[in-house]
Amino acid sequence: MITVAVVDDDRMLLDGLRAWLDKAAGIHLAETATTVDGLFAAADARAGAEEPGVGPAGSAAGRRVLPYDVVLLDLLLGDGSRPEGNIGRLLSAGTRVLVISNAPDRRRVVDAVAAGADGYLTKDHDLPDLVSAVREVAAGGTAHSAELAFSWVHDDGPARPNLSPKERQVLLEYASGLTLKATARRAGVSPHTAKYYLDRVKEKYQQAGRPTYTKIDLAARVREDGWTEGP
């Protein structure tokens, strides 16, 4: 059973999601709230009711832990909280985050995924799409959508380096786990040239304020910036 919570200040949407998810096999909507603070308060209250005298819900070694597998989070909440801050708090509490929003700003969508959100859907998707996305995120994957791909492809923010087609190809091949020689062979260049492209990629990330030193770092940048998503 996948345990889900929703944070959104649209009460009609909250009621609709509850009715929808009640029909989804293997998914339990455990809590709804209009703010992230409200979600933590609700989890604390539930934990206290179940175990009188207990402190903040799910406390572990001084860290608050939320009892949900996935939180569906709207980007723009009425309390004026920053999306990146909300995502960071939820991740620190041990839950994964799927953004469900109609925010028209592509920059906000890209920033949300860079902050650690595991996917983005607009609110006009139907129930099967939502259920599929929740299951993908709960399993440790990323919920891709046409809207997220569009935001990635058209992102020209300073934190996302402008890579040439060949730099991007070498980055993708190498970050996927190939050796430098195998990467060069796939890209149709010499190992020396492949290394040059990788050095250029690292330099561009350094200039963007996102140092990238290892293959693990490169794989993280591929995931954060959606380089695997084409137009």
The answer for residues whose C-beta is within 8 angstroms of residue 201's C-beta and 6 or more apart is 161, 163, 167, 170, 171, 212, 218
**Range picked from 62-76, 148-162, 212-226 for highest mean pLDDT:** 62-76
Q: Could you read off the pLDDT of 108-122 as tens digits, one per residue?
A: 887 888 788 988 888
pLDDT computed for residue 63 by the predictor: 63
CA distance 222 to 226: 6
pLDDT interval class at 225 (50, 70, 90): confident
Which of 123, 110, 117 is closest to 142 using CA atoms? 117
Whether 112 contacts 84, CB under 8 Å: yes
| Side chain identity at residue 19, one-letter code | A
Counted residue by residue, the chain has a size of 231
Q: Which residues are 121's β-sheet partners? A: 100
Q: How far apart are CA 86 and CA 53, in angstroms?
A: 28
Cα separation, 65 vs 117, in Å, equals 17
Which range, of 48-62, 81-95, 206-220, averages the lowest pLDDT? 48-62
Residues with Cβ < 8 Å from 183, sequence gap 6 or more?
170, 173, 174, 194
pLDDT of residue 60: 47
pLDDT of 226 over the 90 cut: no
CB count within 10 Å of CB 141 equals 13
C-alpha torsion angle, residues 91, 94, 100, 106 (rounded to 10) = 20
In this predicted structure, the answer to whether residue 206 has a pLDDT above a threshold of 90 is no
Number of helices (H), then strands (E), in the chain: 10, 5
pLDDT the model gives residue 209? 76
Are the CB atoms for 46 and 37 separated by under 8 Å? no
pLDDT at 210: 80
Q: What is the pLDDT of residue 182?
A: 92
Please give the pLDDT value at position 109.
82
Positive or negative CA dihedral for 37, 41, 44, 50?
A: negative
More confident residue, 28 or 213: 28
Residue pair 164/193 in contact (Cβ under 8 Å)? The answer is no
Q: What is the mean pLDDT of residues 46-55?
A: 61
Average pLDDT over residues 206-220: 83
Q: What does the pLDDT look like over 9-39, one tens digit per residue?
A: 988 888 888 888 888 899 999 999 999 999 9
Residue ranges and CATH numbers for the domains of the chain are 2-153 (3.40.50.2300), 165-225 (1.10.10.10)
77-109 per-position pLDDT tens digit = 989 999 999 999 999 999 999 999 887 677 788
Could you read off the pLDDT of 146-199 as tens digits, one per residue?
777 667 666 666 667 788 888 888 988 888 888 999 999 999 999 999 998 898
